Amino acid sequence: MVPEKCRILTFLASALVMLSACNHSDLVGPAKLSNSPNIMLILADDMALSDVGAYGGEIDTPNLDRLATEGLLFTRFHSSAMCSPSRAMLLTGVDQHKNGYGTMGEYLDSSQVGQPGYEGFLNNQVVTLASVLGQSGFSTYMTGKWHLGSAALPSERGFDKTFILQQGAGSHFDATGYASAQSTVDYFRNGEAIELPDNFYSSDTYTAEMIQYIQEGLNLGKPFFGYLAYSAPHFPLHAPTELVEKYEERYMLGWDSIRKQRHDSLKRKGLINGEAIMAPRLARVPVWDDVSDDEKKYQARKMAVYAGMVDSLDQNVGKLVSFLKSVGEYDNTVFLFLSDNGPEANDFTTYPYVPAASDWIASTFDNSYENLGKKGSYIYYGERWAHVGAAAQSFHKTVVSQGGINVPLIISYGKGLPKNKVVREFSSIVDIAPTILDLVGVSHPGNEFLGRNVHTMDGRSMLPYLQGQQESIYPAGTGGGFELFGHNAFISGNWKILRLQEPYGDFSWGLYDLDKDPAELNNLAGQNPQKFRELVDLYSEYAANNGVIQVPEGWKMFENLGGPGQ
């Protein structure tokens, strides 16, 4: 075939694709996006709300703090209680029980296997932000952790350029995995398997790749959607030695003192009620003063490694901001920073109840004090420090208490949003996608995209509220439901109902006023029976509308382990 005919056929094929998109969705064409802002969506992995300096933490996060000062700091933003369901909702605006992550694919109950919405990968009944924005004239880039299954990589779900970790955990220095059954993990660039460079450190490499993609796309004259999905500070904890040494002495104060400092700081900043009571110490966490001197030193270094990971992540956000300023794109970029769930409490070295992980770690890695945080170590910070991250809350990741789902959110865009404002309204991770689409003037395709049926979004755009056009994000009598591993919750305004499986609760509903009681200590169901019944009914409606399959009472997460990836 002669070159001219090739060019004509290529042009006709492209035109047919665009016509198909127009027939099946209400998309805004590239010509209408000349003034559209870029979107930079930054996700941390297992980072607690109080880890960020702007929220009262002692870790140095000046770049995130600056974004908060130049934008909006959310105190009542919620994710799922684990990463894959959160990531699936983040990219689609569709509830986890419909997008393929009704639960973690590794922890399916027999009643959930094969059921719609419980596929264990991002299913084909949803369309990603990248697909919608890509069809609307955006360049779309992703670097970092995918963990939405191997059935389709991000290069097949709307992203133009990608550099990703497929699985949910792994060394931050190389491709070492997370258990005997997954001793190595997989990295892909643009859908092709790759070997990691010798100088790999996850946060540095993900950021450098994102900057490179944006740089290469500048001459296209298109806005970009960047999704920078850090795997820090998820276990195994690894950080540059100089950052570990920076924090080690700081954490010799111990988890009791640091936790109280964070709680007090949240109060001073007005981010929680001044009369709020801190939740009791977790049952297995000893009093710091009762720990031996050698153990204090070891534990302080573990937390110092974690802090170093957060510090490094923040430094990389700073590199990205500096780059965008240098190319004149900073002022035209919306920044969104959030975490996928609360702090991780599991520690398969302290409590070796998953031999596939704990035995493998014991036989493979050097977790001596001198080697903590270095390549060849494999550690967690566990519930002893996780309950510090959840300073104002109860419990942690995997649980739909506030400690598991109340996470940081910072949104900064000087051209179109307020600055230095605290947002105390309830919001949820399903609200991010509709808010982004609203910000750039692109419509979701509804229930059909490029000829296939898809779910409409469950989330609400926060933009009308943020721009002062609405009094709240969620009107009275509405809110958001949460379910994972048989734990249940519903939040409406400042009210929350919560029902937790053992060992976190007795599986009976309680009603809590989150304004006064963010730690969910005072059950007000008996004092407010009408509000209690209203929220129970709202949860029942939520569960029915989203196809929630409730596991039996007494269900245990690790007894249903198909693979330890998180």
Which two structure tokens, joined as six digits, stand for 111? 């009643």
Q: Which helix or strand (DSSP H or E) is residue 77 part of?
A: strand 77-78
| Phi-psi category of residue 547: left, alpha or beta, with phi > 0 → left and psi -120 to 50 → alpha | left
CA distances (Å), 109 to each of 115, 207, 343, 451, in order?
11, 37, 24, 33
How many CB atoms neighbour CB 321 within 10 A? 18
Helix 293-326 and helix 202-217, axial crossing angle in degrees, nearest 10 = 10
Among 162, 96, 149, 157, residue whose Cα is nearest residue 128: 157
d(CA 119, CA 96): 11
Show Cβ contacts of residue 26 under 8 Å, excluding neighbours closer than 6 positions. 443, 445, 446
Beta bridge partners of 229: 43, 144
Q: Which of 78, 83, 172, 263 is catalytic?
A: 83
Q: Which of 147, 238, 444, 487 is catalytic?
A: 147
Residue 147 a catalytic site member: yes
Residue 487 a catalytic site member: no
d(CA 399, CA 344): 10
d(CA 319, CA 333): 15
Which two structure tokens, joined as six digits, stand for 559? 């007894």
d(CA 217, CA 223): 9
Beta bridge partners of 43: 229, 338
Which two structure tokens, joined as six digits, stand for 277? 């009571």
Cis status of the peptide bond prior to 85, with omega within 30 of 0: no
Q: What phi and psi, each to the nearest 5 degrees, are found at residue 452?
A: -120, 150
Helices and strands, number each (H, E), in the chain: 15, 20
Catalytic residues: 83, 147
